[in-house]
């Protein structure tokens, strides 16, 4: 420790002052968020000239669609702070509103992007939230690579999780194809969804089988997530063109072919699962019936399952017939999960009614809350232990 200090001094001999270092490296001595042993969280932001600073956290009750917020309190130095009640274990997001301007917490560099929105994150440990932490256990690998999609006529970026031991084993693995929602991309599940942490933890606990998780980009007009592809940096939007027109479903076999010729996988129906959230649930439903003898496991998370007047692609011909075919071919699990407050709740009731009428079996989970990542992380951690058993 002493040595380091000596060296630090030597290292910065030519830097005039500590203030200079702060200017250079942006260091600030404010701690935010600070999580107490009792799981109360204190947030701080230095804003001496501000008249009003609010904190908006996703644990605060919203009023309709308006997110909840709380007033922060200013001290004599201009440091605003707010301490939460005890929070239950979860991964939370928050941001500041400084005189009405939305701002991330500069003292917390842990940020996630949801569509075009940046938010800070923190984790309150315990229970379910321990699945979202990096624990001292074997870890899988996460690769961003590019595959050739002849159907879409482009190279496309894809995120692949391989389980601990994959590289050194000669074993073949089952595969879960995990699809994002509208506004998402191949980064969504791995960042917002904490897929690598959830899988590492479930596998280490013996709850899920080691599997490969493939997270493709479901927006057929994109080669990659915004900023990661050949269109450069541009502002992501909630829903891009052609996301639900049948093109993705029709060419999904490009992804399966890529995975099955590039990874050591068990390339059969018993070892393929497909699941997705919202638009990805819609994709999963359609892909699994359009290729009705391909997946033994299907997961529909808060899925956008309502019938669409504009679904004119041949992919959407004879939905009932192909579902029936899928049922006759057999499958091991057809899993549906949705939150009671989800705006897609009614569409899911109607879809389940359709399945009931057809006699098509499914497993159903209903949670609190709405169309939110908190639920999708829970669904992923409930769904994956049921796979490949």
What is the footprint of a copy of itself within residues 189-248 (CB under 8 A)? 223-224, 226-230, 232-233, 235-239, 241-245
Residue 381 beta carbon to a copy of itself: minimum distance, rounded to whole angstroms: 19
User: Crossing angle, helix 319-329 and helix 279-290, to 10 degrees?
Assistant: 70
Among 16, 61, 206, 359, binds a copy of itself (CB under 8 A): 16
Q: Which stretch binds a copy of itself (CB under 8 A): 127-135, 202-210, 268-276, 373-381?
A: 127-135
Residue 286, class by beta-carbon neighbours within 10 Å (0-12 exposed, 13-18 middle, 19+ buried)? buried
User: In this structure, are residues 179 and 216 in contact, taking their beta carbons and an 8 Å threshold?
Assistant: yes
Instruction: Please report how close the Cβ of residue 275 comes to a copy of itself at its closest, in angstroms.
Output: 20
- Told to check if 170 binds a copy of itself by CB under 8 A, we report no
Determine phi and psi for 312, rounding to 5 degrees: -100, -5
Per rule CB under 8 A, is residue 312 in the interface with a copy of itself?
yes
Give whole-number Cα distances, 261 to 4, 178, 269, in Å.
Answer: 50, 18, 16
Q: What mask of x and - would describe binding to a copy of itself in positions 32 to 71, judged by CB under 8 A?
A: -------------xxxxxxx------------xxxx----
By CB under 8 A, tell whether 361 contacts a copy of itself: no
- Is residue 104 packed enough to be buried (19+ CB in 10 Å), middle (13-18) or exposed (0-12)? middle
Determine the size of the site formed for a copy of itself (CB under 8 A). Answer: 103
**Within 10 A of 208 (CB to CB), how many other CB atoms are there?**
24
Q: Is 106 one of the binding residues for a copy of itself (CB under 8 A)?
A: yes
153 forms part of the interface with a copy of itself (CB under 8 A): no
Q: What is the DSSP letter of 254?
A: H
* Separation of first and last alpha carbons in the chain: 51
Instruction: Quote the least distance from Cβ 244 to a copy of itself, whole Å.
Output: 6
Site for a copy of itself in 331-360 (CB under 8 A): 343, 346
Under rule CB under 8 A, residue 306 binds a copy of itself:
yes
Dist. CA 161–CA 168, nearest whole Å: 15
Does 314 engage in binding with a copy of itself (CB under 8 A)? no
CB closer to a copy of itself out of 59 and 324: 59
């Amino acid at each position: 420790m002493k040595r380091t200090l000596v060296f630090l001094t030597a290292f910065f001999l030519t830097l005039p002052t500590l203030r200079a270092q702060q200017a250079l490296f942006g260091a600030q001595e404010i701690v935010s968020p600070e999580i107490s042993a009792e799981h109360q969280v204190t947030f701080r932001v230095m804003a001496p000239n501000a008249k009003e600073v609010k904190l908006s956290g996703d644990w605060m009750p919203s009023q309709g669609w308006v997110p909840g917020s709380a007033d922060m309190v200013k001290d004599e130095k201009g440091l605003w702070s707010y301490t939460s009640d005890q929070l239950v274990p979860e991964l939370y997001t928050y941001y500041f509103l400084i005189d009405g301007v939305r701002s991330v917490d500069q003292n917390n560099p842990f940020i996630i992007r949801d569509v075009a929105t940046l938010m800070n994150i923190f984790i309150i440990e315990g229970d379910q939230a321990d699945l979202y932490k990096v624990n001292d256990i074997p870890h899988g690998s996460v690769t961003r690579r590019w595959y050739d999609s002849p159907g879409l006529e482009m190279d496309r970026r894809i995120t692949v999780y391989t389980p601990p031991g994959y590289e050194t084993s000669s074993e073949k693995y089952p595969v879960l194809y995990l699809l994002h929602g509208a506004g998402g991309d191949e980064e969504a599940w791995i960042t917002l969804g904490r897929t690598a942490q959830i899988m590492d933890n479930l596998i280490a606990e013996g709850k899920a089988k080691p599997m490969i998780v493939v997270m493709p980009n479901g927006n057929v007009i994109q080669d990659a997530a915004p900023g990661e592809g050949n269109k450069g940096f541009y502002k992501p939007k909630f829903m891009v063109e052609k996301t639900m027109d049948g093109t993705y479903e029709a060419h999904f076999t490009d992804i399966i072919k890529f995975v099955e010729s590039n990874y050591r996988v068990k390339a059969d129906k018993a070892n393929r699962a497909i699941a997705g959230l919202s638009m990805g649930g819609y994709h999963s439903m359609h892909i699994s019936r359009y290729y009705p003898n391909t997946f033994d496991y299907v997961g529909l998370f808060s899925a956008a399952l309502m019938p669409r007047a504009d679904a004119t692609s041949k992919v959407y011909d004879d939905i009932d017939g192909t579902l029936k075919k899928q049922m006759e071919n057999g499958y091991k699990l057809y899993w549906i999960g949705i939150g009671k407050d989800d705006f897609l709740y009614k569409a899911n009731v109607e879809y389940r009614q359709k399945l009931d009428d057809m006699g098509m079996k499914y497993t159903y989970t209903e949670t609190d809350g709405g169309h939110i990542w908190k639920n999708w992380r829970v669904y992923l951690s409930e769904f994956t232990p049921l796979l490949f058993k």
